Chain A
Amino acid sequence: PFVCQGRSARLPSAVQLPVSTLESQAPEPLNTMAPNSIHWFRKGLRLHDNPALREAVRGAGTVRCVYFLDPWFAGSSNVGVNRWRFLLQCLEDLDASLRKLNSRLFVIRGQPANVFPRLFKEWKISRLTFEYDSEPFGKERDAAIKKLAMEAGVEVIVKISHTLYDLDKIIELNGGQPPLTYKRFQTLISRLDPPEMPVETLSDALMGGCVTPVSEDHGEKYGVPSLEELGFDTEGLPSAVWPGGETEALTRIERHLERKAWVANFERPRMNANSLLASPTGLSPYLRFGCLSCRLFYFKLTDLYRKVKKNSSPPLSLYGQLLWREFFYTAATNNPRFDKMEGNPICVRIPWDKNPEALAKWAEAKTGFPWIDAIMTQLRQEGWIHHLARHAVACFLTRGDLWISWEEGMKVFEELLLDADWSVNAGSWMWLSCSSFFQQFFHCYCPVGFGRRTDPNGDFIRRYLPVLRGFPAKYIYDPWNAPESVQAAAKCIIGVHYPKPMVHHAEASRLNIERMKQIYQQLSRYRGLGLLASVPSTNGNGNGGMMAYSPGEQQSGTNSNNSHLPGVSGSSVATGNGSGSILFNFDNEEQTGPRSVGQQQQQRLHTLPQSQHQQQHAGYHSVPDASQNITSSRLYHEFAVPQHPGLFLHTRGSGITGKRERESEREALGEEEPASCSVNKMQRQSAEVSPQSAEELATSFSSQDFLSEPEPEPERSGRLMQQQQQIFNVFWSKQGFLNFQTYFKVCSQSSREPGEGL
């Protein structure tokens, strides 16, 4: 991600530009009681819907908007020139907008922790405001700054506006753990109040009597630097395909909505050759830098949908792009190792190959597969690629062809991709490499066929790989198969002017699918021959769907009336909840069974963390979050979900629960499952019945590849394998809630374990 401040805070003290020359003769406000504020920009580079900025000017005498740039970091970072340019354009746009309000942006050279104390003193600051950063290193950095500010007697106000929701609330609703499947996430979201409305754009009226003291030499000291000043060679740099800035973002969102209104189709657009190209309605980089408020986008979409669809309530799928982003932010917020395989509790350990040469070929668009190389060229030149193009290159690098770690690909995207947020980037890479989130792995994008289906003509290839321009469409995706005469006519000999394919795709995908199967079979303790069943799922759905451990699902599961499928947006819409609200009413899924205990407990569990939450933030949030007041009574009633694992027991054998359970149920009834090996079935079943038994763990591990193991030995599986299996237990066990905690305990214990001695 673009982690200018976050990273620099960890780096050794950087070269400091002279900040000591800060103007000390700044005009003091007449009313000494009116606070002097600093608003600290990081993401959220906008004046619209910026609640923290609003707090900065509220009743203040002076306000200064600062952005920290570490020039030393700029040179050494692995952030590419496109991302730097986008950032600088955002800052210029901010400065221009602030000028219209007789203010300016202060770009400060240095690191926040070093510079803030001086700023506080010299500007006589009593209030610091900034947008909440949910990412682990951001939280760490902000905690340090808060401490520093409080010591200096500066009040700190933090506001959530980079995400739609308070992520901690989503996690709390899920029993204290982040949801690990997108479906589960959607379910949780559908039970939350809608996001808060965007706040008013900063204006003269809002500024009121608040002024910004600006010195003569502001440009010199605090101006937005140029790319050259940051040490980038800009000669021959083509103009930006994605110009940065809030103004551009607001133009784009209007165009985006106009097009949607014109198409009047809110389904996910199907991909075609055109969708591969940068679109003037694309928004993702603007959301990433916060030039565009996700809440503004959310509500504009909602309004448009209501207008076009005559007031029917929008399905969650309308907000797909925003919710995916939110999902990965939620998954990452408490996981500092979210971008790593090792030590990351939600990441499956896959024995990826270390192969720097192959990695370089991929990153530098020299794989010999035109489809992959064209995408990587577009990424490097423009900073954006279509999401299916991301899937294609990510699959190729990892589980599809090269078997190289997703972490390496993530780093390349971090350098080149304008919208690569730390959480979203890492999360998507884990998803695409099937390293987490319980994704089916059977489908690998073919580096030849996928492109051909999307753009049969190959215009995309010709645009980004001019060397292949002369090839006819028939061969443009696999030019190595073209006869020599065709290559000669195209003035491009494969192996001379353009590389030969670096892997044999059929062979590589055969090996890799086998490897993924092995890994997932070990984890899921599944012994059968099926490929699909290797990935655990509790509703027979490949994407992991509903997790057995989730309290809400258990409750839904007891409802055997299939025509009413509660818990997710789509079905709620389908069952005709015409309230016009995206907050779905769950009253009709209230349990008939004894639930009072569960509800009481639920109340307690919900109340407790919330009050803790408030206590924690006292001092930072001078203005209490309005939503906390509204929710209380409704939350407890509507979200009455049992937290005690004991209550899950009665859901066994219900109609909607997982396939595995259904299977054992059927077996118990003596029905024969056709054409399935009885030995395998027994192994599976026993593994399911007592997932915690050490012997079971051992058996499954050791006999992983031998379908008929003669005599299982009681050997304990490796520690790491245990860890991974713990993840899966969460999904399979009826007491998942407990297991999840056990699992985290196991992980934290073993990570403290010293290096193996043998």
Chain B
Amino acid sequence: QESQASELPKYIKIVEVGPRDGLQNEKVIVPTDIKIELINRLSKTGLPAIEVTSFVSSKWVPQMADHKEVMRGIEQHPGVQYSVLTPNLQGFHSAIAAGATEVSVFGAASESFSKMNINCSIEESIEKFEEVAKSARNMNIPVRGYVSCALGCPYEGNVIPAKVAEVSKRLYSMGCYEISLGDTIGVGTPGSMKRMLEAVMKEIPLSALAVHCHDTYGQALANILTAIQMGVAVVDSSVAGLGGCPYAKGATGNVATEDVIYMLNGLGIDTGVNLYRVMEAGNFICTTLNKKTNSKVAQAFLNTGTIN
């Protein structure tokens, strides 16, 4: 059966997760002023959405302990949506008090992952998110829902597409405007991506879907291509491919924003993003972190002196 869209989307929204997902999974903890500088630079690239921090207890995620300072300290450019993670009602209130205008909640398609990651079952986590969604609705705050382990789990192994569809549907029904399907350990391939999306697309409208691919096995761009061929028009990525994989020591994690944009440019798909400015922001953060970029596009451009 042919689930390949005859035409690719004309426009794709890139959701930049580097400052949160990226920095949270880097070895080095970054000072607040550097985080703010990075976000301010990203705000000038044309990116329409930037995930800036996480209102999780600093006991669990020390890298994001400065969430209030970051939220208050960044320039908020018109035309850019700034979102923050809020795992529960307490985090939500704290985020709103700090000036957040959009929040995200993180579910998972695997019970084991949910228990190991946030110490509760999927059902219990959904109850917490419902509290957030309810408050958010009352305050007209949009909520984005993430589903982790959409193509595989570090503990359970295989994850069935029907489970991903079920969790996605719960998040969508509670009011999440968008569901980002995450290949958390990057094990997916175009084969499993297609099967998973076919199942989810039975429950969620295409326009409300996003893919969040990790490049741990080098499959991210091929998986993203598969998703956009099926009509998905929102893609998460991380500048310079920031953020390793916490489940595979030394391995890479997030797909690099630069590499995604390069591919979309080559396909004639509009993103509104200036690739060079993203590379410059990537160069800034990598220099600060004293690390090599994970973006192959940035690496290829680096020695020609094209990036400042």
Q: Do A and B interact? A: no
